[in-house]
């Protein structure tokens, strides 16, 4: 039987790696992918706690997280396509159109 804290530590490690991708990478596409990784590491925690405490709410919450993630990715990629059409750059530090 795997102890609960192994799963939590795996979630922590994946979360930190995803946060590093969000904060450090220059390409917007990779930033979005790292965001997916963040949400997924949270799902691991939800399901691990739900399993160990025999509570379905963990799995239900994970289902909602997955649904919202799908919506978020669709909108984000739509914005990205519009951005690439108008500005023709994918670098996060060059998108400063709202600076005024």
Partner 1 sequence: MDQGFFLLFAAASVVTALTLVLARNPVHSALALMACFLQVSAIFVLLEAPLLAVIQIFVYVGAIMVLFLFVIMMIDVREAVLQRFLPGSNLPVLVLLVLLAVEMLVLVLRSDRFSVAELVATRTGGEVRHLSTTLFADYLLPFEVASVILLAALVGAIVLARKEPE
Please pick, from the candidates 2, 96, 97, 99, the single residue that binds partner 1 as defined by CB under 8 A.
2
DSSP classification of residue 27:
B
* Beta partners for residue 27, in sequence order: 91
Residues contacting residue 57 through CB under 8 Å, at least 6 positions apart: 50
Which residues from 24-53 bind partner 1, rule CB under 8 A?
A: 24-27, 29-30, 32-34, 36-37, 40, 43-44, 47-48, 50-53
Q: What is the DSSP letter of 99?
A: G
- Binding string, 78-97, against partner 1, x = CB under 8 A? xxxxx-xx----xxxx----
Find out whether 37 and 17 touch, Cβ atoms under 8 Å.
yes
Smallest gap from Cβ 96 to partner 1, in A, equals 14
Residue numbers 51-80 binding partner 1 by CB under 8 A: 51-57, 59-60, 62-64, 66-75, 77-80
């Amino acid at each position: 039987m795997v102890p609960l804290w192994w799963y939590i530590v795996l979630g922590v490690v994946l979360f930190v790696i995803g946060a590093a991708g969000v904060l450090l990478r220059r390409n917007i596409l990779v930033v979005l992918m790292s965001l997916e990784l963040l949400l997924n590491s949270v799902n691991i925690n939800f399901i691990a706690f739900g399993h160990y405490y025999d509570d379905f709410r963990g799995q239900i919450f994970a289902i909602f997280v997955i649904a919202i993630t799908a919506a978020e990715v669709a909108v984000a990629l739509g914005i990205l396509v519009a951005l690439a059409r108008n500005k023709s750059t994918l670098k996060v530090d060059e998108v400063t159109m709202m600076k005024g």
